Amino acid sequence: KTKVIGNKFSSSLLKHEVVEECLGQKLLAAIPPYGIEDVFEAQLNSSTLLSSRNYYRELEGIMKKIAELLLPNELLNQKKSSILSGFRFRKTEN
């Protein structure tokens, strides 16, 4: 079972017929490109893009999909001292 995580995939790239045809259902998540100015500012201030509230909310959903695929339920459902405690998300019920 192969899944793809697209790095720096813009919304127009996701809609491109070649991407849709080649990746289709294999595309698990797409991490969008971020402005070079934002990346520079984050590095200059010794922080990450996750420090920005807007980026945090955007990335939270993407990271949740990836974590649910890779990590066991016991780890995802721990409330304190979990590897995911900094990400503020838990496994969703399907």
**Digit-coded pLDDT (tens) for 37-63:** 988 888 898 887 777 767 877 888 888
Phi/psi for 3 (5° steps) reads -125, 150
Higher pLDDT, 6 or 92: 6
CA atoms in the 13 A half-sphere facing the CB of 44: 6
Instruction: Answer yes or no: is 92 within a domain.
Output: no
Per the structure, how many domains does the chain have? Answer: 1
Residues 6-42 pLDDT 10s: 999 998 999 999 999 999 889 988 988 888 898 888 8
Instruction: Answer yes or no: is 87 within a domain.
Output: no
Instruction: Answer yes or no: is 93 within a domain.
Output: no
Task: Quote the CA–CA distance of 38 and 40 in Å, as a whole number.
Answer: 5
Residue 11 lies in domain = 4-73
Instruction: Answer yes or no: is 28 within a domain.
Output: yes
Instruction: Answer yes or no: is 47 within a domain.
Output: yes
For residue 59 the two structure tokens come to 């990335």
Phi/psi for 7 (5° steps) reads -100, 130
Instruction: Answer yes or no: is 19 within a domain.
Output: yes
